[in-house]
Structure 1
């Protein structure tokens, strides 16, 4: 059934057995964001290479921009309830060619992000299991294990994956909140300097890098729309899950970045992060809560990344379903499991692509984290922020034609402002792409061109289909 099928009621589910509630969708979103992985990687990199102690203020700016975007996003999701996400928005708001271009950008971006996360979790899994067992554990063994677990979970009803994600998410959030609390107890409220919000700090040198990484930290929150057809009462569930997810992500990153800076002091945090970014959070954890807590953090980094891998795989499979329904991918990928309602064909396609890419990187002797992980995840971040900017323009275009009782401020002004902020962030990401990937290889830093190629291909395919 297409996104704009008039026979479909806004609260009709993905199937007769739609089972996802608000909490299930929120778990998928927050797990895809990978709070622990973001804090250990992007947060520290933002402090070290960006605007230093102004990072918490940067998260506020990113949160406001995405909140403005979300005001229009949730209204659009009430009109369009299918697994197409941003692709469906672009098709409805900007036309078939823009929809085709967006579809293929989404195809590249989500697959790249999923494969990048897979390489990263395989690497960290090897590190963690080697430390725990005292015996070297090849990353390939971890990769095959994580691959098998996700393949099994993706086969069954989506709520099973949601429960797994909920457990992993709760553990990492509780651990980081424990760290935040320990810093507060030792340093008191006066230790949390409000200097981190001063315009001179937030907008100072390195702001572009920090804003880029802040947007990257939120990647995944838009997944609420991908589960609208599997949700109970999506007309209410999707907007509620979107607002809850964004509020939790914004507040969590704000508090945790502020606590990490306060742990070292506003005058020392940037210098320490620059000198030793890999152990920035772990050293602070040992200082405030002991070595056992640091050991737990290292394990939770692995589980956080695994949860993100599972969430992104499920998101990507649903994009495959949407594209297959509209003839942009083979029709067979749109078939669902007759009992579980899961997109088994689309899931298998994504896992096959992942396995082939991983094998290629392995045979070429590339590092699973530095080469496959960071480079492909960087491409995924760039593509998803581009999708958000396109979606903002699509929302404005749609409601300029079919406002039907929606307020101008909520349906047009807010998403337009959010879209301008996203476009500015996208420009900064392109300009600072080598910083995002941390790589000097020409082919790695040329990957953004693949998104343009995908957009042109998608627009051409959509144009051909339209004129048949």
Structure 2
């Protein structure tokens, strides 16, 4: 197996054997924020997209990502490195591609993390206000930042346990909603028309597909925890398949239930009339207003879990890039006891605080002004990275296939990559909808992606050339 882990000093290594398959799955599922997606994204997808065809759209997204995951899993068995997309691109397409992916990942994951944080601060204030606690979103932002700083400082299993508790609560409530709709409407109430091609590919399909890919953003983070997994050759593939299957089935059933609760013909009009309360009204009608209030609280805990998970992902990317020499070396510092990437984590949280403070001082809304736009940009970048990874996987196995099935190692990632490119076209053409914020300049954020890719590629090639020159000089000195 090609581990791709540089030897390095002790403080350049993460804690080995800390995470089980279940722990990694919790990181991924919490990162996709099921409650946040169902409440915030579902209503927009139904209202602005193909209406009752949303469940079918999520099925398409799940199939595309499953094809991508087939190759991704084969690659994870050969390469265990917290660098994720960066490592895959470097091994599959060369150092320039690796550098491009590194810079893209750095920009993308930081933007996504900051976007989630803005949404968390906003909704924390809104929900707290419903219970008479008016402290302002900035106060909740400080509380969330402090909590994530504490959790990410200690052993990674502590974060996994916290995510497990938060995830279980939101999943149980949504499953209760699904069951309530089933009891109320029966199996016959779940119309198969939601999967009819004419419905799925009807007006607004592009917007719904864009939001569907966004809802899966973060599932690929399983590979980031390979170094900390107890058995990475088994844990990472299992976690990837389990997480993707769980996300696809859960979203499909819950969104199908939501459509059913309003009626196939009425769902789109209801979402357009009141998108903010689309799911809350459905929950209140199927269960109770009390459960709708619980749902509101769990939207906040869901976003907190997503922020924690994305922060851990981003910190590990920064750690890996520093260890590879693409970021300052001090970012490789880990906690001597817990093995957590404390330096990379601290830098990431500092960036979150600075950007949030800048938006706040400018008087911009933390959700519409910062959250939606930056997370939308982050999602766009992640899909670009997935497409690059698909090409990298094919390139890697075309040269170094050692018994891996052609169907899984080459054919599946080719098909998945093509699906991702199609999704990417839809996302770029509809980005102004996804980033419908109050800061117009943020609509130009997608241009940062090609700029970041070029800068990363140049940096990687330059570093490789300089290393070659130094090696030649040292050889010359030794020969003399």
Bin of the TM-score, shorter chain as denominator length: over 0.9
1:450 aligns to 2:457 (yes or no): no
Give the Cα–Cα distance (whole angstroms) in 2 for the partners of residues 73 and 140 of structure 1: 39
**Is structure 2 residue 259 aligned with structure 1 residue 264?**
no
> Aligned-pair distance for 1:15?
5.0
CA shift digits 1:140-183 (9 cap, x unpaired) = 00000000000000000110000000000000000001001111
Deviation at 1:353, TM superposition (A): 0.7
| Residue number in structure 1 paired with 2:27 | 28
Q: How many angstroms does 1:406 deviate by?
A: 1.1
Quote the Cα distance in structure 2 between the aligned partners of 1:403 and 1:84.
Answer: 21
Q: Distance in 2 between matches of 1:219 and 1:377?
A: 10
Match of 1:43 in 2: 42
2:180, 2:286 within 8 Å by CA — same for their partners in 1? yes
Q: What is the rounded CA distance, in whole Å, between the counterparts of 1:410 and 1:373 in structure 2?
A: 37
1: CA distance, partners of 2:277 / 2:6 = 55
3-state SS in 1 of match to 2:227: helix
Q: Which residue is equivalent to 2:282?
A: 284
Residues paired across the two proteins, number: 462
Residue 368 of structure 1 is matched in structure 2 by: 366
Whole-Å separation in 2 of the counterparts to 1:104 and 1:3: 22
Q: Counterpart in 1 of 2:142? A: 144
Which residue does 2:326 correspond to in 1?
328
CA distance in 2, matches of 1:298, 1:16: 36
Q: CA deviation at 1:215?
A: 0.4
Shift in Å, 1:4: 2.6
CA distance in 1, matches of 2:307, 2:6: 35
Q: 1:4 aligns to what?
A: 4
CA deviations on 1:62-98 (whole Å, 9 max, x unpaired) are: 0000000011000101111011001100000000010
Residue 343 (str. 1) matches residue 341 (str. 2): yes
Deviation at 1:438, TM superposition (A): 1.9
Partner of 1:302: 300
> Deviation string for 1:337-360 (max 9, x for gaps)?
110000000000101111110111
Contact 2:26–2:164, Cα closer than 8 Å, also in 1? yes
- Measured in 2, the distance between the counterparts of 1:453 and 1:109 equals 12
Per-residue CA deviation, residues 202-229 of structure 1 (Å, 9 max, x unaligned), is 1111111111110000001001000000
1:116 matched to which residue of 2? 115
* Corresponding residue of 2:472: none
CA deviations 1:388-447 (Å, max 9, x no partner) are 110000000000000111111110000010000001101110000011112375311101
For the aligned residue pairs, the C-alpha RMSD in angstroms reads: 1.5
2:161 corresponds in structure 1 to 163
Q: How much does 1:449 deviate?
A: 0.7
User: 1:187-246 CA distances to partner (integer Å, 9 max, x unpaired)?
Assistant: 111110000000000111111111111000000100100000000010000000000000
Secondary structure (helix, strand or coil) at the match of 1:467 reads helix
In the TM superposition, 1:21-420 aligns within 5 A as 21-132=20-131, 134-420=132-418
Contact 2:369/2:438 (CA < 8 Å) preserved in 1? no
Displacement of 1:18: 2.1
Tell me, in whole angstroms, the C-alpha distance in 2 between the residues paired with 1:402 and 1:206.
Answer: 42
- When the two structures are superposed, what TM-score results if normalisation uses the length of structure 2? 0.94
Partner residue of 1:11? Answer: none
Residue range with higher mean Cα deviation, 17-26 or 243-252: 17-26
CA contact (8 A) 1:434 1:440 kept: no
1:135 CA drift (Å): 3.8
Q: Is the 8 A contact 1:226 1:318 kept in 2?
A: yes
- For normalisation by structure 1, the TM-score amounts to 0.97
Which position in structure 1 is the counterpart of 2:477? none
In the alignment, which residue of structure 1 is the partner of 2:475?
Answer: none
CA distance in 1, matches of 2:369, 2:40: 15
Counterpart contact for 1:97–1:463, Cα < 8 Å:
yes
Gaps of 5+ in 1: 9-13
Aligned in 2, Cα 1:191/1:85: closer, same or farther, shift over 3 Å? same
Question: Paired residue for 1:426?
Answer: 424
